[in-house]
Amino acid sequence: MTLPTRQIGPFTVSSIGLGCMNLCHAYGIPPSPEDGAKLLNRALDLGVTFLDTAAIYGLGASERLIASAVMHRKDEFTLASKGVMDAIDGKRVLDGSPLAITATLDRALQRLGTDRIDLYYLHRLDRKVPIEESVGALVRAKEAGKIGAIGLSEMGAATIRRAHAVHPIAAVQSEYSPLVRNPEVAVLDTCRALGIGFVAFSPVARGMLARGVRDDGYEPHDIRTTMPRFLGDNLLHNLEVVAKFETLAAGIGCTPAQLALAWVLAKDDNIVPIPGTRSIAHLEENVGAASVSLTHETLAAIEAIFAGTIRGARYAPFAQATVDTELLPDEELA
């Protein structure tokens, strides 16, 4: 199968990619490696040509899964991974120093069983290290042939411009969905101005726009247990808002997840969403969003549903401290 394509830096990729975090990490008990491998191969069979992982996902397990499951099909996809956030001796660290970035990249190459990663991001901003120094490490990695292009994740417009002055940035990745609009403050405009592709992670709002959240009884080790908008009274209120979105999706004959992905795709041709899933059925549903066309009236209805209506912070304070993407006006931080 083939999907429509879009351009991310030098890469032509499917208009919908696959985020590989929750195959090993973050949303409760992950699938078995065998089931994860089946999902990855099904994604390629469906025409998905953009896979996104990171060193921190499953403390390296996501990269190892990709190596064992699909690297024999590497000519079928563009591979992205991320450094700065890593696991040292089983503990999470954030280190944007050139030495740490180089070491993380080298370990990633070993786990992936390859000598080159197509697109390599700085996963988060290390405020102790000038962004110019962190980018410089990736410039040297590119010159050495270890990576093909440089990306940034969850960084604000000023940081993007500083990084881009050192070396052209191919892609910026941030959370973006009808429910999470922070990139609209400044990042999307900056990417357009500089010719940078934008990769939207969590485009179905960590399952909230995919009928995947109905209460806060999450499994152990689910990161949503730390996110205020997914808990308690905030969640009850937010689900009332989301119910309107679900009704809208039903009215136009698609699922809420497809409506969310179609909305992201409609925002700009330089945007590629990378929904993640542990379910082949959900994967197939997500890929189906590529054929959903939205009218101006539907787009306006979505904007109206989520105009200032979501309660609760996007991240807990410890996680928000690593995020450089601009806040929305009056955004809650606790």
Q: What is the per-residue pLDDT across 246-268, written as a single tens digit (0 to 9) for each?
A: 999 999 999 999 999 999 999 99
Q: What is the pLDDT of residue 332?
A: 84
CA proximity to 1, closest of 41, 60, 59, 54: 41
Domain with residue 307: its CATH number is 3.20.20.100
Hey, what are 126's tokens?
Answer: 């290390």
> What is the reported pLDDT for 333?
85
Task: Look at residues 104, 99, 48 and name the one whose alpha carbon lies nearest to residue 77.
Answer: 48
Pairing assessment for the beta strands 18-19 and 85-88 based on DSSP bridges: unpaired
Domain assignment of residue 135, yes or no:
yes
- pLDDT score for 300: 97
Q: DSSP alpha helices (H): ranges in 150-269? A: 157-166, 187-194, 232-252, 256-267
pLDDT tens, residue by residue, 143-167? 999 999 999 999 999 999 999 999 9
In this prediction, residue 183 carries a pLDDT of 98
Task: Look at residue 140 in the predicted model and tell me its pLDDT.
Answer: 98
Whole-number average pLDDT of the chain: 97
Strands 78-83 and 50-52, by their bridges, are parallel
Largest CA distance in the chain: 53
Task: Please indicate, yes or no, if residue 333 is contained in any of the structural domains.
Answer: no
**330 confidence band (pLDDT: 50, 70, 90):** confident
Q: What is the pLDDT of residues 54-113, one digit of tens each?
A: 999 999 999 999 999 999 999 999 999 999 999 988 889 999 999 999 999 999 999 999
The per-residue pLDDT for 31 is: 95
pLDDT of 180 > 80? The answer is: yes
Alpha-carbon distance of 99 to 230, in angstroms, equals 37
Lowest mean pLDDT among 244-248, 293-297, 330-334: 330-334
What gap in Å lies between CA 110 and CA 95, rounded to an integer? 20
* Domain span at 30: 5-320
Residue 328 DSSP label: P
327 part of a folded domain? no
Say if residue 334's pLDDT is above 80.
Answer: no
Catalytic residue among 27, 57, 121, 176: 57
Q: How many other β-carbons are positioned within 10 Å of the β-carbon of residue 242?
A: 25
Q: For residue 121, is it within any domain?
A: yes
Q: Which of 87, 162, 82, 181 is nearest to 124 (CA)?
A: 82
In a domain, 326, yes or no: no
**Could you count the other beta carbons within 10 Å of the beta carbon of residue 53?**
29
Percent of the residues in the chain that have a pLDDT greater than 90, as a whole number: 95
Structurally, the chain folds into a number of domains equal to 1
Residue 57 in any domain: the answer is yes
What pLDDT is recorded for position 1?
Answer: 76
With residue 102 as reference, give the H or E element that holds it.
helix 98-112
pLDDT for residue 249: 98
The answer to whether residue 296 is domain-embedded is yes
Find all residues with CB under 8 Å of 291, minimum gap 6, and list them.
Answer: none
Averaged over 272-277, what is the pLDDT? 98
Q: What is the pLDDT of residue 206?
A: 98
Query: Is there a contact between 14 and 3 (Cβ–Cβ < 8 Å)?
Result: yes
**CB count, 10 Å around CB of 115?**
10
Q: Is 315 a catalytic residue?
A: no
Q: 331 lies in a domain?
A: no
